[in-house]
A and B are shown apart, each in its own frame.
Chain A
């Protein structure tokens, strides 16, 4: 067997391993992205706008917030800052993955594959054995990306076909996923619990206090997150060893 053939078989094997590991993510994205498609449709966007958002953003919280601001005819700066602040966490994940991926991975592969860093892809990639290679990373991302985009398409299409009771129920799906991400660590790590409580309490205060409730959703998320995270960082600095 020639060396190059052997190498390509190895590449395929890694790719398929990634595809296998990403299966739960694919399934998990279906109701969430489906809900996004329905919500976008509900906000008055057409099917292809919803799909274009999923194709170009491939992120849950950020694109939902951006879409909500867009629906309210928000300014470009508000959209940029909100989406960026929500996605700041990817910097940390990307930084963490930079220690986990193969050092020899070319810059072009890094530039393309980093598009696929979501909370869930990050979780699976950082838990995998050994270094993360390009084919394995691609195997993780591609099926999840397809699931995300197709589910948005089906969600946005089905919004007019599905009974209202089902649309209502799907509205909560994305929040269920957020809770599934924040509750388990909050349960175990007190500083995270405090961060969550402060941020949620502030968000409620902004919503229910006269005058303060005139502030748009995007800025509320930014203020709550920055204040809660900064307080937590001052009070509970994370150890440098991790």
Chain B
């Protein structure tokens, strides 16, 4: 991978991240009237995060079994509406402990 490619990619990422953040706040002050677009935009974040999480979460650690346990822990903590920090740390601790126990047993 060369530097020019990396820098260009980062610049592209930064630009397309900044534009949606800035455009409405700076320019657009009127309410969107098209209800389909409003509805579509309202669902987009959840759809994106769901597609990014599954099935990738199962391969996010060294072993699928620990990732599945971590996923379950995160699911339960999120269900009880724990903070982002608590859910993230809970998943991490579950993975760490389950891998540690597995190594002792095996």
Interface residues of A (CB under 8 A from B): 24, 27-28, 30-32, 44-45, 49, 52-53, 56-59, 61-66, 69-70, 73, 76, 79-80, 83-95, 97-99, 101, 107, 110-111, 113-115, 117, 119-120, 164-166, 168-187, 191-192, 195-200, 202-204, 207-208, 217, 220-221, 224-226, 228-230, 232-234, 236-238, 240
Contacts of A207 on B, CB cut-off 8 Å?
Answer: 55
Contacts of B41 on A, CB cut-off 8 Å?
Answer: 88-89, 91-92, 229
Q: Which 3 A-B pairs have the closest CB atoms?
A: A183-B78, A233-B39, A176-B91
- How far apart are the CA atoms of A61 and B20 in the complex, in Å? 14
Interface residues of B (CB under 8 A from A): 1, 5-6, 8-26, 28-29, 31-32, 35-36, 38-57, 60-63, 66-67, 70-71, 74-75, 77-79, 81-93, 95-96, 99-100
Complex: chain B residue closest to A204, CB-CB? B55
Contacts of B83 on A, CB cut-off 8 Å?
Answer: 24, 28, 180
A-B contact pairs, 10 of them (CB 8 A): A31-B85, A52-B10, A61-B52, A70-B9, A110-B25, A117-B25, A165-B62, A172-B67, A177-B84, A184-B78
- How far apart are the CA atoms of A191 and B44 in the complex, in Å? 12
- How far apart are the CA atoms of A169 and B101 in the complex, in Å? 13
Contacts of A87 on B, CB cut-off 8 Å?
Answer: 16-17, 20-21
Chain A proximity of B18: nearest CB distance (Å):
6
Given A98-B24, A172-B61: A186 and B89 interface contact (C-beta under 8 Å): no
Contacts of B95 on A, CB cut-off 8 Å?
Answer: 168-169, 171-172
Contacts of B12 on A, CB cut-off 8 Å?
Answer: 66, 76, 79-80, 83
